[in-house]
Amino acid sequence: MTNSDPSTDNLDSGKPKSALSSVVNFMLAVVRLFARWLGGNRLPKSSPIVPPQSVAGTALMAVIAIMSFLACLTLAAVTMVFEQAQLWESDVSSELTVQIRPSEGVDMELEIERAIRITEQSPGVGRAEAITEDQSAELLEPWLGAGLDLSELPVPRLLVVEIDNPVVLDIAKLRKSLIEAVAGVSVDDHGIWINQLKRIANVTIATGIGIFLLVLAATCLSVIFATRGAMAGNQVVISVLHFVGALNRYIAREFQGRFLLIGLQGGLVGCFAATVFFVVGGMLLGFLEGPSGGSPFQALFGGFALTPLVFAGFVFVLILVSALTAMTTRMTVERYLATVQ
């Protein structure tokens, strides 16, 4: 009778092996043969110098993702305010108002005609139009009530002047010409409003940039702590690399590569979350506004939309966060290695 029991074979060979180990060895041999067939007898891809599990990768990636998300939101808010401030400024500075106060013995209609003529002759002015008495009454109706006869009251008349080219228009010269020719005239170029808007917008933008920089600084600090942790956890690896003759910049590059990958992954997650936030937020706001539109948010910030400029900002954040992560790691590692022999 032929004995095919592996355990008996093992006894025969004088080396006690269990049946289980024989089966495992056989399976390993099959796997090895299969791997060799698949890989064409090539050696497997080299392991990374810095073991991935020795770096607190998941935690750091989560921190970088959150920081990238906040950086994206801040940058988007700054971009929106900047764009809207430009829009406000161009809207307001595309018009100016000429006011003519009634004076005794002065024919208002003649003064208005003269003011229109002088204004329209000025370079840069597109059109000047007087607001009629009816239109003035309509504007004042909320305060003075309906059925008002303005001819009995000393209500000033207004001219709305549309500016074609604000660069060419010399407002000071126009103001001087009007004051010399028209009685009781004054020119309002909305300069006070423009300056206030500019100031508010600049403060908002500066605050946003400050927050953006703080977020980046917090990201760098997190990376420094994580790198120090990784260095402490890889002291054996570093000492081995040193005694096989690795240059400090080689070791720094290995750590930098590992952290760059983490930074890229975290940055991608954060920027993707910000993109989703903007798309979903824009849809929700559109839904809440209803068909009439015109929410206060839209009036202030011009809508909650993922514009190309905002999206470009997200890409910028991704590149910046990844580059900062890699650079911070390299500097931290090089500083550490400079103290080690």
Partner 1 sequence: MIRFENVGLRYGMGPEVLRDISFQIAPRSFQFLTGPSGAGKTSLLRLLFLSMRPSRGLISIFDKDAAKVSNDELPEIRRRIGIVFQDFRLLDHMTTYENVALPLRVQGMDEARYRSDVVELLDWVGLGERMHVLPPVLSGGEKQRAAIARALISRPDILLADEPTGNVDPPLARRLLRLFIELNKLGTTVVIATHDLNLIDQFDTRRFVLKDGRLQIYD
- By the criterion CB under 8 A, which residues form the site for partner 1? 43-44, 46-49, 51, 53, 236-237, 239-248, 250, 338, 341
Pick 195 or 235: Cβ nearer partner 1: 235
- Residue 264 CB, shortest distance to partner 1, in Å, is 22
- The residue written with tokens 């269990």 in the block is 18
Do 96 and 219 meet the contact criterion of CB atoms below 8 Å apart? no
Smallest distance from partner 1 to CB 20, Å: 17
Q: Which is nearer to partner 1, 49 or 158 (CB)?
A: 49
Question: Which residue lies nearer to partner 1 by CB, 255 or 304?
Answer: 255
Q: Decide: 155 and 136 in contact? Cβ < 8 Å.
A: yes
- Buried b vs exposed e over 190-217: b needs ≥16 C-beta within 10 Å? beeebeebeeebeebbeebeebbeebbe
In angstroms, give the least distance from the CB of 85 to partner 1.
53
- CA 124 vs. chain centroid, Å, equals 37
What is the three-class DSSP state of 222? helix
Q: In angstroms, what is the minimal distance from the CB of 240 to partner 1?
A: 5
Residue number with CB closer to partner 1 (44 or 290): 44
DSSP state of 16: -
Vertex 268: Cα angle to 265 and 269 (nearest 5) = 85
Report the C-alpha gap between 279 and 117 in whole angstroms.
Answer: 50
**Beta carbon nearer to partner 1, 55 or 130:** 55
Rounded to an integer, what distance in angstroms lies between the CA atom of residue 69 and that of residue 268? 9
Query: Whose Cβ is closer to partner 1: residue 241's or residue 274's?
Result: 241
Crossing angle for the helix pair 248-289 and 191-233, to the nearest 10 degrees = 140
Q: Minimum distance from CB of 15 to partner 1 (Å)? A: 16
Q: How far is the CB of 333 from partner 1 (least distance, A)?
A: 14
